[in-house]
Structure formats: C-alpha cells, structure tokens
Amino acid sequence: MLTKIISALLFVLALATVAPAAEPADSSPKSAPAVGAAAQSIPAGMDVKAAGAVAPPPLQTKVKPNRTITISMFMAIVGVTLGVVIWAARRTTTAADFYAAGGGITGLQNGWAIAGDYMSAASFLGMSGLISLYGIDGFMYAVGPAFSFIVILLVIAEPCRNAGKYTLGDILSFRTSPKTVRAVAALSTVTVSLFYLIAQMVGAGKLMQVLLDIPYRVSVIGVGVLMVGYVAFGGMKATTWVQIIKAGLLMSGTVFLALLVMLKANMNPVAFFTDIVNNPQIQDHVRLTVLKDAVARPGFDYGQRFLEPGLFLKSPLDQISLGIAWALGAAGLPHILMRFFTVPSAKEARKSIVIALFINGSFFFLINIIGFGAALYLSPQLISSVDKGGNMATLLLAQKLGGGAGSFGGDLFLAFICAVAFATILAVVSGLVLAASAAIAHDVYVNIFMDGKADQKTQVKVARVTSLFVGTAAIVMGLMAEKENVVALVALAFAVAASGNFPCILLSLFWRRFNTAGVVSGLAVGTITALALVMISPVMTYPQKIADDAKKVMTTLEKKQAEGGVLAEKELKSLEKARGDFQKNDGGTSMTGLKAPIFTLKNPGIVSVPVGFLAAIFGTLLFRDKRAEELFDEIEVRQITGLGISKASDH
C-alpha cells in the first residue's frame, strides 16, 4: 500500500513542477496584502515619447468606491454571517459540535467550505493582478492549488477521516507517546495558523484602508473581534456555513465578472486574445516595464510575449521549490485537516474533496479571464498606478464593466466585489483561529493537562476561551506587522506545513515502524529548517538592497544633470525619493541582521521538505518502538473501515 501511495505522490509532484505557483517578487516593507508582483509604469529617467511608447490616458491613483453603498454591502454580509453564528451557537453544546460540527456536515457542504478555505483574498485579488501585469505566468501561478487537491484526495482525506478525531495531534498520537506528540503537534499547528493569520489580518487592514480610508488599526481590530465571535460562539458549524456563504458569493461575483469580460469580447476567445496581443499599451508595458527594453528589438512581438511564460517565473529551481510547497503544504494545513472530521464517513470526505476540486478549478479558470480582461480593458499602466502589485485589478475592472466610476451600476458592482473580498478574509481567519484554538484546548489542555478526563461542558468552555486568546494574539501581531512583508509569512505557513506536518502524517499512516521519535524529529527539524531558510531568503526585507537600488537611480539621474540634461518633473520626484530611500536604508539589515539573502530561493520547499522526511525517518530508525509497530495493524484497519470513529450527531 505504501508503495502505491508513494508512486502516486511522485506522479503528482512531477506534474506540480510543470506549472507551479510562485511567490511575489516584491519584498518591500509596504507590499500589498494580497499576492502580487511589483511593477512600475515607465522606468525612471525614460521619456515616454523618446522610448516610443504610446502615451497612456491619465492614470488614477486609487480605487474610488461609493462609501455609502460599499459600507451598506459590508454591513449586510456581516449581518447575515452573524445570524448564522447565532443559529449555530444554539446547536453547539459538545466538544464534537465545537470542533467538528458533530460530524454532521455533508460532502457537498464540506466541499464548498474547503473550496472557501482556498479561495482567499490573495487568490481573488492577487492572482488576477499578477495575470494583468505578467500574462500567462499568472495562469501558471493558479495551477498550484489543483495539484494540492490531488495530493489530499489520493493520500490524506480518507485515512485522516478514519484515523483521527479533531486535530493533527489526534492523527499523530494514536500509536505514539500521546502527550509528547500532542505537545509538538500543537506547537506546529499554532505556528502555521498564526503566520497565516497575521498575513490575513494585515491584508484585511490594508484592504479597508485603501478602499474606505478606514484606519489600519481600526480595521484589524474590527476583523479580529468578528472572527473571535464567529469561532467562540458558533464553533465549526458557524465557521463552515460562513465559508459556504462566502464561497457562494465569491463564485457568483467571479462568474458574473468573467461573463461581462467575455460579453465585451463578443464571446469570442480568439478575438479576445488577438486584441491582447495587438494592444499597444500591453506591448509598451512588456517592453518598458517588464523587459526594460529602452529601444524596441527589431521584429520582436511584445504582445505575443505577454502570452508566453517567463515574464515572472524566471528560475526553474525556484519554480520546482514553490510547486513542492503548494502540492504538499495544503495537505498539512491544520484548518484543512480539521474539515475531514466534520463529515460522517470517508465516502463523504472523498466527495467533499472532489467537489472542492471542481469549484476551485472553475474559480481559477475564471480568474484568468478576469486578469486578462483587466489587462485589455484597463491597461497594465492604470492597474500598477493604483497598486504596484496589481491587487486592485479585479476591483477596478468590476467598477468599469458595471458602468464606470460614479455610475450606480459601477459603484454597486464594486461594492459587492469589495464586500465579498472582506467576507473572504473573515471566513479564512475564522477557520485558522478554530484550528489554533482546537490544538491548544483539545491537545494541550484536555489531553495533556487533564489526561482526557474533562467533561463536555468544560471542553467547550476552554475551547471558547482559547479562541479568544488566539484571536487577541492575532490582532496584536497584525497591528505589529503593519509594515512587515506579509508575503514571507504566507510562504512560511505553506513551507512549515509541507516540511513538518505532511511528512509526519504520511509516515504515521503508512509506515509500520514510524514512532514517537520520528514524529518529534520530523515536526521539529522540518519546521525549524523551513523557518530558518525563509528568514534568510529573498522574501524578507533587506534595507541595504533598497539603498543599493536607490543608489542606482541617483547615479543615473545625477549623471544626466551633470551632463547638462534637464530632469522632467517625474525624474526630479524619482531623484528625491531615491535620495530619501538611500539615506533611510543605507547600512540597514533585515530582521536576522543580514544585508543580503543567503538562501537564494523564495520558498524553501525543495530543501526543507526532504530534510523533514529524512529527519522523521532517521529519528524512527534510531529509536525503535515495538508498541508503535504493534498498533499499526489497528490504525490500518481504522483507515480502511473507519472502525472506532463516532457517528455524526443528530442535528
């Protein structure tokens, strides 16, 4: 059986490296909340006419929603979701209800909820922006989640549903030393969840700040209070239904926006992509901004280059590393693993993954249409003038296709899309808070301190109090991380899950000899390796690099002045900014005291995942455990039959 599983896993990894995900290139402290890539409209010091560029129309610098309509839409979504929480709170009385909705969620419902976990604000806003600025590379970025679902379907879903109860600790502790393994598993779960949570909190704060001029701190605190309420009172049932509602709204908005794009193209995909290739502004963007060709190459088709890979994903080794993290990381995410325990049978677990794969596949396909539509009907120059990462592309396109800024249709559609993005963040953070609080309350308090003897009422009470503390910690850390590079936190969450959690889950389920030493060494070494490599990788902020880049701009423009050239107004502003950046950052170091990255890859998966597997294997071989081997037959029977798993409670 293990041979078949490993063969399937290797096949998936081989596919994942063909078109993997990529991390954003922008490592500035003020990088956008959603995933994106930095871009500038015209290189500093270059005259538009001299460069042969087509002069773009006047560019706006921010999204301009109608505050009344947008806030009303926000309040409507918050009102509906709070109603769900109140309904769920009345039906949450036991630990099983709080952690796993009593196992009473159907495969269809769970599939929508899992899809909602994947359709984050980064996917909705960031991927479309990446496509609008870098073309086909954004499409390759969207392929990653599909492969992660294949790994979950083939390897994780059914065995985890049958072998576990509520948390990662339940899966890993069955045939090992329970207290030791639960403690380490809880630490890993909280680490992954918190890093992911901080990124979402910062994203929520920045989104509200950009769209509605709501102060960052107010936005973060507001989101934190809402998510704590969702989890503390409604538990898994409320979190699941909030995800389902959010996923339905998100798919509706995505389908409608993609349909408007294609209607504008007369439902002719060939003509649509032909227009993209022939669009002068896209051609200028590729030439001047991406490839930085001051003089056009004779016979080179810059429009066609927009539809070819390599504008953003340039390093094959980095692509492979990112593909590994995508394909395996999702299978080790705690809030995804918890969803397998909400369904009444392994059959429903498999069904939920198939449904989630179909929904997410459709979503990511439509995101590509939206991204290319934004490039064609808005222009990359306009998109990057509003947000360098392109993260506002979907919002700008919604407003334009709805009728334009200031029109009722444009403002209404923009308000709906903004509200959906907000609901997306609320739903994702709720799932993460629940996963972290479950690890602390169920694994640490109930099973370590109380030896599993706490009554149901006490368990639920502790879980609710724990969610309050986790939510408070997320708010505080989100406030502290306002100017930090949140991309590093997202990369770290997936890397830790792929390097520590996934190897231990796989080996625990399918290797007879695997034992306590293997779990502890795999989780500890995999997590620490991923953490260490990310902290010295390019995704961190390096002030000295900012200073060096500013120095180059200063040298170029000052040389032009020395030669008697007159700087344009834009060049003078660039020179002033460069001098400020140089003075502020020269001699500075990263959080780890480095002036430049030591590890050159943006994601450590290609190194940390093998290290995690090797540590788990060596730890197992060094310390043999007869009891773990004897209990393997029992866990194997449980995986196949579900024997010993409690039935769904009656709702």
CA distance 494 to 498: 6
- One-character DSSP codes across 420-453: HHHHHHHHHHHHHHHHHHHIIIIIIIIIIISTT-
What band does 213 get if pLDDT is binned at 50, 70 and 90? confident
SS3 602: coil
Give me the pLDDT at residue 144, please. Answer: 65
SS (H, E, C) 303-359: HHHCCCCCCCCCCHHHHHHHHHHHHHHHHHCHHHHHHHHHCCCHHHHHHHHHHHHHH
- Residue with the larger pLDDT of the pair 151 and 586: 586
Label residue 483 by pLDDT band (50, 70, 90). Answer: low
pLDDT digits (tens, 9 = 90+) for 148-159: 777 776 677 777
Asked whether the whole model's pTM tops 0.85, one would answer no
| Residue with token string 């990359």 | 380
Distance CA 231, CA 99 (A): 10
Q: First and final CA of the chain: distance in angstroms?
A: 37
| Burial of 629 per CB tally in 10 Å (0-12, 13-18, 19+) | middle
CB 627 within 8 A of CB 181: no
Confidence of residue 574 (pLDDT cuts 50, 70, 90): confident
The most confident of the ranges 137-146, 367-376, 490-499, 528-537 is 367-376
CA 176 to CA 443: how far, in whole Å?
14
Sign of torsion over alpha carbons 474, 479, 484, 486: positive
Q: How many CB atoms are located within 10 Å of the residue 584 CB?
A: 12
**What pLDDT, on a 0 to 100 scale, did the predictor assign at position 397?**
92
Secondary structure (DSSP) of 168-233:
HHHHHSTTS-HHHHHHHHHHHHHHHHHHHHHHHHHHHHHHHHHHH---HHHHHHHHHHHHHHHHHH
Predicted confidence (pLDDT) at residue 10 exceeds the cutoff of 60:
no
Predicted confidence (pLDDT) at residue 12 exceeds the cutoff of 50 = no
CA dihedral 127, 236, 444, 163 (to 10 degrees): -90
**Helix, strand, or coil here: 642?**
coil
Q: What is the average pLDDT across 580-600?
A: 85
* C-alpha separations of 19 from 230, 249, 327, 409 in Å: 37, 28, 11, 37
Burial of 482 (0-12, 13-18, 19+ CB in 10 A): middle
| C-alpha 231, offset from chain centre | 20
What pLDDT is recorded for position 36? 35
pLDDT beyond 60 at 651: no
Q: Give the 3-state secondary structure of residue 601.
A: coil
pLDDT at position 491, please? 65
> Residue holding tokens 């290739």?
277
Least confident of 143-152, 470-479, 538-547: 143-152
Question: Which amino acid, one-letter code, is at 464?
Answer: R
**368 backbone dihedrals φ, ψ, rounded to 5°:** -65, -40
- pLDDT of 266 > 80? The answer is yes
Compute the average pLDDT of residues 611-640: 87
Query: Cα separation of 542 and 273, whole Å?
Result: 39
Comparison of pLDDT for 490 and 618, the residue scoring more: 618
Residue 140 has pLDDT above 50, yes or no: yes
Structure confidence at residue 5 (pLDDT): 42
- How high is the pLDDT of residue 339? 84
**CA–CA separation, 189 vs 586, rounded Å?**
38
Residue 15 has pLDDT above 60, yes or no: no
Q: Which has the higher per-residue pLDDT, 377 or 480?
A: 377
**Is the domain 2-491 a CATH 3.30.420 member?**
no
Listed in sequence order, the DSSP H helices in 90-156 are: 95-100, 107-118, 121, 128-134, 136-151
**Nearest by Cα to 247 from 146, 392, 108:** 108
pLDDT (0 to 100) of residue 59: 60
Segment 30-70, tens digit of pLDDT: 333 343 333 333 333 344 444 444 444 456 667 778 888 88
E strand or H helix that includes residue 259: helix 216-264
Query: What phi and psi, each to the nearest 5 degrees, are found at residue 586?
Result: -60, 125
Structure tokens at 416: 């709906």
Residue 415 has pLDDT above 80, yes or no: yes
Distance CA 93, CA 42 (A): 60
Q: Alpha carbon of 218 to those of 195, 307, 430: distances in Å?
A: 21, 41, 18
pLDDT of residue 60: 63
Confidence of residue 28 (pLDDT cuts 50, 70, 90): very low
Over residues 367-372, mean pLDDT: 92
C-alpha 431/C-alpha 35 separation (Å) is 20
Looking at residue 161, its amino acid is R
Lowest mean pLDDT among 37-51, 479-493, 528-542: 37-51
pLDDT over 90, % of the chain:
16
- Comparing CA positions, the residue from 482, 480, 532 lying closest to residue 29 is 482
pLDDT reading at 29 higher than 70: no
Q: Which two tokens stand for residue 454?
A: 């706490």
Instruction: Give per-residue burial for 205-220: e unless 16+ CB within 10 Å, then b.
Output: bbbbbbbbebebeebb
* Torsion 231-237-240-245 (CA) sign: negative
How far apart (Å, rounded) are the C-alpha atoms in residues 408 and 141? 34
Could you tell me if 382 and 400 are in contact, meaning their C-beta atoms sit under 8 angstroms apart?
no
Q: Which residues of 61-91 are buried (b: 16+ CB within 10 A; e: fewer)?
A: eebbbbeebbbebbeebbeebbebbeebbeb
So what's the pLDDT on residue 16? Answer: 40
Q: What is the structure's pLDDT at 27?
A: 36
CB 326 within 8 A of CB 16: yes
Average pLDDT value over all residues in the chain: 80
Q: Which of 384, 395, 390 is nearest to 419 (CA)?
A: 395
For residue 167, what pLDDT is reported?
81
- Residue 212 scores a pLDDT above 70: yes
Q: Which among 415, 407, 392 is positioned nearest to 68, based on CA atoms?
A: 415
pLDDT in tens, 188-199: 888 888 878 887
Across 126-148, average pLDDT: 77
DSSP 62: S
Is 618 buried (19+), middle (13-18) or exposed (0-12) by CB count in 10 A?
Answer: middle
